[in-house]
Structure 1
Amino acid sequence: MNSTTILLLILSYFAILVLISFLTGKSADNNTFFTANKEAPWYIVAFGMIGASLSGVTFISVPGWIEASQFSYMQVVFGYMVGYLVIGTVLLPLYYRLNLTSIYTYLEERFGNASYKTGASFFLISRLVSSSFRLFLVANVLQVILFDDLGISFWQTVTLTVVLIWLYTFRSGIKTILWTDTLQTLFMLIAMGVAIYTVSEDLGISGGNILGYVLESDLSKMFFFDDFKSSNYFWKQFISGAFIAIAMTGLDQDMMQKNLACKNLKDAQKNMFWFTIILTIVNFVFLSLGLLLTVYAQQNGIDAHKDELFPILAKEYLGVGVFVFFLIGLIAAAYSSADSTLTSLTTSFSIDILGIQKKYDINKQIAVRKRIHILVSIVSILVVIGFKYVIKDESVIAKLLLFTGYTYGPLLGLYAFGLFTKWQIKDRWVPIIAILSPILTYIISVNSSKWFGFEFELFVLILNGGLTFLGLILIRTKQYQSA
């Protein structure tokens, strides 16, 4: 497939997204942009959240994990299920009871303005960097398979990518994203299915025997209880998965903004229930795809590993049809995460940092929100381009999960303290606690193997949240939360 055909395919895909934006953006205001007027069908939210949760990172990196880690990632996924249960039964009732647009408003009501600004700031940093990781991965792939041949540089690729996202989200924000995410999730799952079918056919595995083949393979080992010091140890990954889900979904404005677009709490909880089931199945299928790709590469003597495994096989060995669906699926996976990130960052910065709902009339709010949306897009471009000179050959998903342990930890500690204690705190000291906790976490983590014979890995999130919690105990007052 030549570069012109690929470019036309990408432009056609974005034309569909822009059309959806036009259809959903009529009479849009800030309520539409931030909450979709609380009219989103729960089943649309649940399905669309699959793509936003998986992203291009999962699409590329998870299949490439099999060779080194087998199916150990499912231990993290099973932990996610526990985390989502907490979200559905503890956090969603809280958010709906307080009728929140930004979930960080809770911190202001519970502790004060400094805690509120600290929580929102950590989200902004966390989501900006993690989303940029995801977008960087996809931009790199597009650069190799298309834009290098067209003589377009990496910074131009990134700029074009973000501008296209801005184009279909600037009018109605979350209302458009709920529908584009649904379409993008569908494309991603179709791409995964086509790849599995093609590879299994090439390996001589009939459709009905794929599951049996996967489960019988040595590469599908899922549970690791042998060495508690190992990064693959079951309880380490399971518990980490639960806290990652709570922090990266339940305490994340991006993910919760979609849940808060549902009509009521009952619909939001139904969304979380079905989302959990579908996401677990989809992750298992992605790992199965990774196993089949790994076996295919080994049997054919193909030197492709980690993040390069799926792109190289799709482009050079599995035929034009698979490559077309791979490309569409990759773009869909990337943009289902990136588009909602621009919207959630705009929402949080507008409401939490600038407080536009308290300062301006309706018309002024819309004008300010639009300018912030442009600013967030520009910053995202700069961050992704910056990653070009930072990330080398380590698995992107490993970097992503490790980084979020440092940035979501203070949020985890703040919400745990607010929900499970009645203490009030000296609010002005919260920013210092939130900064010191990740620093101490890093020092302990890098020395833990030498000091304790234990590697924290994904446990840094729990350590960081625990240190934040302890720091808040130190600055508690004699006052208690009012009933």
Structure 2
Amino acid sequence: MIGTSLSGVTFISVPGTVGKMTGSEYIYGGFEYYMMVIGFFIGYFIVAAILLPLYYKMNLTSIYTYLGKRFNLEAHKIGSIFFIISRAIGATARLYLVVNVLQIFLLEGLGVPFWVTSMILLLMVLLYTFEGGVKTIVITDTLQTSFMIISLVACIVYILSNLNLSFGEAYTILEQKNYTHFINFDPNSKTFFLKTILGGIFITIAMTGLDQEMMQKNISVDNLKNSKKNMLTFAGTLLLVNLAFLFLGGLLYLFALQYGAEYGTTGTDPVSNIFGFKDAAGNIKNIMGDDLFPALSLNGYFPMAISVIFIIGLISALFPSADGALTAVTSSYCVDLLNLNEDKTKTEKEKKRLRMKVHLTFTVMFFILIMVFKALNDKSIVYLIMEIAGYTYGPLLGLFAFGIFTKFQISKKYAILMVTILAPIITYLINFAVTSYTDYRIGVELIVLNGLLTFIGLWMMKDKQHLRIV
């Protein structure tokens, strides 16, 4: 689970947020992201208390079977579709981040096109999912997660040694530069601490509790007690690991400043919005955000050993997240949408061939989505992923909440489909209007708004008489 959660986004994007401009009352992002991590932590307790007992009680192969039993087949398939969309977009955003780093800092100079790099990495992920089955993937995921943590520790130790600082001395300097503030008190800011904690809670409920891949790892544990123990241990581990990544981020900015990097502005913006080293013409090449760690690691600022460790850590962060997502969307499509497990008309050989076709189709889809992210070229993927999750996981959140906390049925044909399509559209329009006409900025609480609109829409579509099936 740790390997799946700690993707290249955690490895690259989270450290990059520390010295990134926020546009709020604070100059830098600092450790504001940690408020979201605290929200994640609280969210895991809610998942363990409410959703895990429900899944164990119903003995589900697919968690979206619950929606089918609680409502109807339409709800079951809608749940699966939103999971597939959410997982595909989230996984490819993470993949794009890693591909882009390898492309810019290693392969571009060799004349290798971005699309070739993307295709090669996807083929590697594809082969990885085929080789050895689930048991091999669990073992290799564990090894790769270990490599990622080792890379994190090695980079921290090297920078502290290079700057001749102890842990305490480094933290004091980070404090002086305002790189360590945890709490943003500006209610209009996207990273206002209460919004961030609330958003983190619901993102965990949706992206873990309502995610087939993540929950399958938990409900495969032999009993509910051990499953809860597994989840809460995992939650505690994430608190420590994310704090370490943020500390690394602060050290990376200190290291860059020590070697001549500086903040600057572009255009007429009075606030510094770029950070990097000056080129021969005196222009700052911006490495703020996601480009910081790879720029330092792969452009000669770190010794070769640390650069190799960085690449190992980056690749180690890629595979557990990418292979799991590809396998999960294939499984959900085959089980929930094609009902392949219950299909008596096909032989096992035919089923296997069909699964292979679906797997390859999703690989092509992942490639297309990576190219879309390349076109968008966002400099802070971690917040982009959270925003996308707000739109795609919101309907799942509202649908499950309506099923668990009410006893109403919805028998009108296509009612659930209509609500789950309209809710994200209305959420987008509200976000656009708020951004255009007010100083308030909707952050990760977007998922709460979307889920609430879905819940209200389902309430409006409910039958007059109610009957709880589950």
**Structure 2-normalised TM-score?**
0.88
Deviation, structure 1 residue 452: 5.9
Equivalent-residue separation in structure 1 for 2:131 and 2:152 (angstroms): 31
Per the alignment, do residues 425 and 461 of structure 1 end up closer, same or farther by CA in structure 2, a change over 3 Å counting?
Answer: same
Q: Does 1:132 align with 2:92?
A: yes
> Cα–Cα, structure 1 residues 115 and 97, in superposed 2: closer, same or farther, change >3 Å?
same
The aligned counterpart of 1:347 is 331
1:398 aligns with 2:383: yes
Say whether 1:65 aligns with 2:9: no
Letter in 1 for 2:365: V
Equivalences for residues 374-413 of structure 1 within 5 A: 374-389=360-375, 391-413=376-398
1:479 deviates by: 2.5
User: % of aligned pairs identical?
Assistant: 42
CA contact (8 A) 1:102 1:347 kept: no
Paired amino acid for 1:265: L
Opposite residue 284 of structure 1, the aligned amino acid is: L
How far off is 1:173 after superposition? 4.5
Corresponding residue for residue 336 of structure 1? 320
1:166 aligns with 2:123: no
The CA deviation string for residues 428-449 of structure 1, in whole angstroms up to 9 with x for no partner, is 3111110100000000011124
Give the match for residue 74 of structure 2. 114
Alpha-carbon distance between aligned partners in 2 of 1:179 and 1:415, rounded to the nearest angstrom: 33
**What SS is found at the alignment partner of 2:195?**
helix
What is the CA–CA distance in structure 1 between the aligned matches of 2:157 and 2:357, rounded to whole Å? 46
Q: What code does the residue aligned with 1:66 have?
A: V
Q: Distance in 1 between matches of 2:225 and 2:175?
A: 37
Amino acid at match of 1:337: S
**Alpha-carbon distance, 1:117 to partner:** 1.0
Give the secondary-structure state (helix, strand or coil) at the position aligned to 2:112.
coil
Q: Which moved more, 1:53-62 or 1:444-453?
A: 444-453
SS in 2 for 1:89: helix
CA shift, 1:156, in A, is 1.5
**Which letter does structure 2 place at the counterpart of 1:136?**
Y
> Which of 338, 357, 373 is the aligned partner of 2:341?
357
Q: 1:427 to 1:153 in 2, by over 3 A?
A: farther
Provide the residue aligned with 2:458 in structure 1.
472
Greater share of residues in helix: 1
| Alpha-carbon distance in 2 for matches of 1:449, 1:129 | 24
Match of 1:444 among 405, 430, 435: 430
Cα deviation 1:231-290 (Å, max 9, x = unaligned): 221111111110011111111112112222222222221110110010110000000000
Residue number in structure 2 paired with 1:458: 444
Deviation, 1:97, is 1.6
Name structure 1 gaps, 5 residues minimum: 1-48
Deviation at 1:376, TM superposition (A): 1.6
Assess, with a 3 A threshold, how the Cα gap between structure 1 residues 214 and 101 changes in structure 2: closer, same or farther. Answer: farther
Task: Write the letter of the residue equivalent to 1:366.
Answer: K
RMSD of Structure 2 on Structure 1 (CA): 1.8
Tell me by how many angstroms 1:102 deviates: 1.4
Pairs aligned (count): 433
Name the CA shift for 1:308/1:78 in 2 (closer, same or farther; >3 Å). Answer: same
Give 1:172 deviation, angstroms.
5.4
What secondary structure does 1:314 align onto? helix
1:418 to 400, 403, 411: 403
Alignment TM-score, normalising by the size of structure 1: 0.86
> 2:189: which partner in 1?
230
Greater displacement, 439-448 / 252-261 = 252-261
Query: What SS does the aligned partner of 2:61 have?
Result: coil
- CA distance in 2: counterparts of 1:130 and 1:173, whole angstroms: 23
Offset, 1:340: 0.3
Per the alignment, do residues 91 and 433 of structure 1 end up closer, same or farther by CA in structure 2, a change over 3 Å counting? same
Q: Pick from 148, 170, 178 the counterpart of residue 188 of structure 1.
A: 148
- Deviation track 1:20-75 (CA, whole Å, cap 9, x = no partner) reads xxxxxxxxxxxxxxxxxxxxxxxxxxxxx122112101111111111131000111
Letter in 2 for 1:355: N
Change (3 A) 1:213 1:186: farther
* Structure 2 residue 70 is the aligned partner of structure 1 residue 86: no
How much does 1:88 deviate? 1.0
CA-to-partner distance for each residue in 1:281-319, whole Å, 9 max, x for gaps? 000000000001111112221213211110011122011
Letter in 1 for 2:382: I
Kindly provide the amino acid, as one letter, of the partner of residue 481 in structure 1.
R
Q: Which moved more, 1:213-222 or 1:238-247?
A: 213-222
How far apart in 2 are the matches of 1:81 and 1:410?
A: 22
Amino acid aligned to 1:339 = D
Within 1, Cα distance between the matches of 2:181 and 2:247? 11
1:332 partner amino acid: S
CA distance in 2, matches of 1:118, 1:427: 15
Query: 1:319 aligns to what?
Result: 303
